[in-house]
Structure 1
């Protein structure tokens, strides 16, 4: 009754089922790996935000590449803002997804080194060609606090570093480029200012980094494993149904043959 399993149709169906099972299991482990990576990144962000503030030069120096464990750490610095060499960063959005500029101001430390400070978001006009009017930071010697950020690159951000922009406008915040422009020793990375808060609400301080949703990857992993378990169950159900249908067809044929002989 089960000789139909040797037919071309059933051999193909069986081979496909055998191929699907390990494939779905591997897809489940892949989603679990993505879940673990996202959970680990979320933990790094939480640990960094919860860490006590330290002087910025404890974590960064000229030419330093900010690491994943240093990113988002709260740092402090004392010096003066150099608004004469201030820049704006194009195509940045605020919490309401409005497109504008981020204000990047060199901050000259007491030892002469320069820290790049992202003072926050300001709106932009439609043309985005003229340098905007920017509220001034505190004058004189100031202590700022912010989250340490890594240099932006096209590879990491997906933002193209467009050339030929209007004067004093850039696409990416990069300490190496700014060191060449300023002719100064610039600390690696930059900070997103968190204090002091600007008077009048502008620039709008950059909000805390979001967390990645890892729960969805966990759900996908469980889903793939359930699918892999359902394949052999479905195969058995189909085989039993086929065998039952064949038995019924055979019984019907025997009944017709018996009836024909008796007539």
Structure 2
């Protein structure tokens, strides 16, 4: 059992078991993080709306505590400056989201409002025919969202693949509040309303079962090594093929009469 083969085998099993145990702990850490995030989101969704300028400001990113805050705003849409967000799907159907700047009545700052989703025949089209925003002053309610990051936020021909005030802001005339708002309702209602954003899934996800699964693999590795070591020891002590005495050689030649 102290041979080089068994020692290397023991080291490999130990590393495997440790790795599985660490991955299990990582999954449970992710579960705790998701539960904390869900608690914040649930509280924000249930709260009464507050003025958007109490939460968002130009050039200031959205904090994790403000994600999905319920806000209200009054202003006028700049429909000509709308951005189409491509490659959005609902129930397997292709479409786009329409993001329109809202010039706030009080400060004159611009708030990016994701007015919702509309089906399109070609989700890659940069200028699909989408319903117009309401004219005149409107009052909206919605949910605060943080800016997306990465190359998908780049704006080309009034379209992008994700929403970011940092990317869209330079294409507009005025100061833009950080983050954006997913529309819940607006008054007056548009002639052709878009499908509003779906609220997030507040389930705990698969992390609990993934964590148990990794810990089971760790225990299985240790148990399997222990069983193989026990079986090898048993064979060496006399019972099995590896511990059996060599068969006595048979003599050749004529048997004496």
User: 1:182–1:227: structure 2 CA closer, same or farther, 3 Å change rule?
Assistant: closer
Is 1:237–2:230 an aligned residue pair? no
Is 1:108–2:103 an aligned residue pair? yes
The number of equivalent residue pairs is 246
C-alpha distance after superposition, 1:144-194 (max 9, x if no partner): 00111122221xxx62626xx44x333342323443322212211111111
Counterpart Cα distance in 2 of 1:227 and 1:127:
43
1:54 to 50, 65, 78: 50
Matches within 5 A, 1:11-160: 11-93=7-89, 95-111=90-106, 112-126=108-122, 129=125, 131-154=127-150, 159=152
1:217 to 203, 207, 211: 207
Is 1:161–2:154 an aligned residue pair? yes
Conserved 8 A contact 2:85-2:98: yes
C-alpha distance after superposition, 1:52-97 (max 9, x if no partner): 211101001111211111111110001222223323222222x223
Counterpart Cα distance in 2 of 1:127 and 1:178:
20
Structure 2 counterpart of 1:8:
4
Shift of 1:119: 0.7
Is 1:205–2:200 an aligned residue pair? no
Query: RMSD between aligned alpha carbons?
Result: 3.0
Conserved 8 A contact 1:121-1:202: no
User: 1:220–1:77: structure 2 CA closer, same or farther, 3 Å change rule?
Assistant: same
Counterpart Cα distance in 1 of 2:88 and 2:227:
56
For structure 2, the residue ranges without an aligned partner over 5 or more in a row are 252-257
Counterpart Cα distance in 2 of 1:152 and 1:16:
42
For structure 1, the residue ranges without an aligned partner over 5 or more in a row are none
Conserved 8 A contact 1:77-1:143: yes
What TM-score, normalized to structure 2? 0.81
User: 1:191–1:225: structure 2 CA closer, same or farther, 3 Å change rule?
Assistant: same
User: 1:113–1:10: structure 2 CA closer, same or farther, 3 Å change rule?
Assistant: closer
Conserved 8 A contact 2:86-2:126: no
Shift of 1:128: 5.2
Conserved 8 A contact 2:99-2:115: yes
Conserved 8 A contact 1:87-1:103: yes
Counterpart Cα distance in 2 of 1:169 and 1:71:
24
Structure 2 counterpart of 1:174:
164
User: 1:114–1:15: structure 2 CA closer, same or farther, 3 Å change rule?
Assistant: closer
C-alpha distance after superposition, 1:24-64 (max 9, x if no partner): 32222122222222222322322221222111010011112
Instruction: Choose between structure 1 and 2: higher helix proportion.
Output: 1
Which secondary structure state, in structure 2, belongs to the residue aligned with residue 107 of structure 1? strand
Q: Bigger CA drift: 227-236 or 105-114?
A: 227-236
